Amino acid sequence: MRIARRISLSVICVLGAISLIAFGIMLAFGIRPIMVASGSMEPAIPTGALAFDRAVPANQVAVGDIVTVKRTGGDYVTHRVVAVAEGPEGLTQLTLKGDANGQNDPTPYLVSEVGKHLGSIPWLGYAAMWVRNNWVIAAILFLALAAFSFSGGPRVSVVMPDGSVVKGLTRTSAKRLVESVKATSGGASAGDREGSEPEQPEPVTEPRPETGEGPEPEPSHEPILEAVSR
């Protein structure tokens, strides 16, 4: 149980640290995660991967770059650039194609900004997609794991020297309390002995040696009649 608690606590700490570092880096450099739901870019980007891109002006991309653009319907597509041309009103016209597709995308994209692909992590997109679709269950599991890790195990009670009971302690806290009480009691006893006067030995009555004749009879106050022989 103690080993499992340490492992779960370490996992939470590592994941939390990685998440904070990754979030800080993405926030500082304008990087956003993209969940890859299809295999149109395999093997470069496998299905279920978590891809990362950074927003750049569309006129800065070149043929061969992998970019993410927004389709007319509102969803995003991540494909490779096969042609670049100037568009109307300062826009850039990009022709894209998935590496696993046999032909280009149906229509070119007129864009001013795109997400330029930086890299991807295989399988991590599945986990991110599951958390997004089941965020309530994910939050409950995370809180349960955190509570188990930080609970410190079952609670115990400690009976104090004055008879009072301290309840709801972890085993570690109870052990520290017991050690503290022992140290305090030992110090107080030593102090009492140093500050008090030495005790005088009580008088001891030595027992009479046994003679084997039994106990002496108590003196009688009645007259003793002596028999006189004539």
Write the pLDDT tens digit of every residue in 2-54.
666 566 666 666 666 676 677 777 778 888 888 888 899 999 999 999 899 99
Q: Which residues share a beta bridge with 80?
A: 66, 97
Q: Say how far apart CA 46 and CA 36 lie, in whole Å.
A: 8
Regarding whether 125 and 184 lie in a shared domain, the answer is no
Residue 214 within a domain: no
Above 70 in pLDDT, residue 207? no
Residues 12, 15, 17, 19, CA torsion sign: negative
Tell me: cis bond preceding 43? Omega within 30 of 0 counts: yes
Regarding whether 123 and 85 lie in a shared domain, the answer is yes
Regarding whether 68 and 169 lie in a shared domain, the answer is no
Regarding whether 132 and 99 lie in a shared domain, the answer is yes
Residue 217 within a domain: no
Regarding whether 133 and 166 lie in a shared domain, the answer is no
DSSP class of residue 98? -
Regarding whether 94 and 8 lie in a shared domain, the answer is yes
Regarding whether 137 and 108 lie in a shared domain, the answer is yes
Residue 208 within a domain: no
Question: What would the pLDDT profile of 154-187 be if each residue is shown by its tens digit?
Answer: 667 777 778 788 776 767 777 888 888 888 876 5
Domain, as residue range, for 118:
2-142
Regarding whether 172 and 127 lie in a shared domain, the answer is no
Regarding whether 163 and 134 lie in a shared domain, the answer is no
pTM (predicted TM-score): 0.54
Regarding whether 167 and 133 lie in a shared domain, the answer is no
Question: What would the pLDDT profile of 91-150 be if each residue is shown by its tens digit?
Answer: 999 999 999 999 999 999 999 999 999 999 898 888 777 776 776 676 776 676 666 655
Per-residue b or e along 169-207, where b marks 16 or more CB atoms closer than 10 Å to that residue's CB: beeeebeeeeeeeeeeeeeeeeeeeeeeeeeeeeeeeee
Q: Say how far apart CA 206 and CA 51 lie, in whole Å.
A: 98
How many domains does the chain fold into?
A: 2
Residue 50 within a domain: yes
Regarding whether 125 and 170 lie in a shared domain, the answer is no
Take residue 50 and report the two structure tokens written for it. Answer: 């978590």
What CATH number is associated with residue 134? 2.10.109.10
